[in-house]
Chains A and B, each alone.
Chain A
Amino acid sequence: KAGVTQTPRYLIKTRGQQVTLSCSPISGHRSVSWYQQTPGQGLQFLFEYFSETQRNKGNFPGRFSGRQFSNSRSEMNVSTLELGDSALYLCASSQVPLLAGNTDTQYFGPGTRLTVL
């Protein structure tokens, strides 16, 4: 069974631009979560989608948005990029959502490394 895939793997953008990252979950997984990892803040939860609906959202500005398609593939978009958005963006998939009481294993993708100049 293929793992979680993310495209592109590397991306360089300039301030003010916008970017779209893609995540394809493991076949049969309907939950996709997105995370940002920076040297200063470590890993932080961005949002989670399940069955095309955003179920949870972390403490990030509205410039960060996402969506999920009927085939469970997910995209996240960052508009008006800032230097501080430079990070490794990871997605993870699971069969059930990260709700209280659910203890499903998450499978992570390799990440997209975004550099904002």
Chain B
Amino acid sequence: KNEVEQSPQNLTAQEGEFITINCSYSVGISALHWLQQHPGGGIVSLFMLSSGKKKHGRLIATINIQEKHSSLHITASHPRDSAVYICAVTGGGADGLTFGKGTHLIIQP
């Protein structure tokens, strides 16, 4: 069974700061997903990675397959980035997606 760990669990930062959220997993995977969940429950898929790096606007996601580690970066953070960010993996012997517990991010103006 794949264990997915995220850090930090909670993060409060000031507007404009560079944010990093980390995700590590225990078993090899086929893909890693970064999800964003706003209050009220809606989930948006931000990135899906199997190798390397992806960028979308102010968001950057990287994955190191050998180290079983991924990071999500937010540049020039804004209060609207406040949300829970969830890491999830597919493969690694488990069916479906295996989720981390999430990182609760608050960006203060």
Contact = CB atoms under 8 A, between A and B. Distances in A.
Interface stretch (B17-25, B36-44, B65-73, B75-83): B36-44
Contacts of A101: 30, 91
Interface residues of B, number: 25
B88 interface: yes
B30 A43 contact: no
A58 B30 contact: no
Interface size class of chain A, counting residues whose CB lies under 8 Å from the partner chain: 20 to 34
Contact of A90 (B43, B88, B102): B43
A43 B99 contact: yes
Given A42-B99, A88-B41, A98-B96, 15 more contacts: A35-B97, A43-B102, A45-B94, A45-B99, A48-B95, A48-B96, A56-B96, A57-B95, A90-B41, A98-B90, A100-B90, A102-B30, A103-B90, A106-B45, A108-B44
Interface of A: 33, 35, 37, 42-48, 56-58, 88, 90, 92, 98, 100-108, 110-111, 113
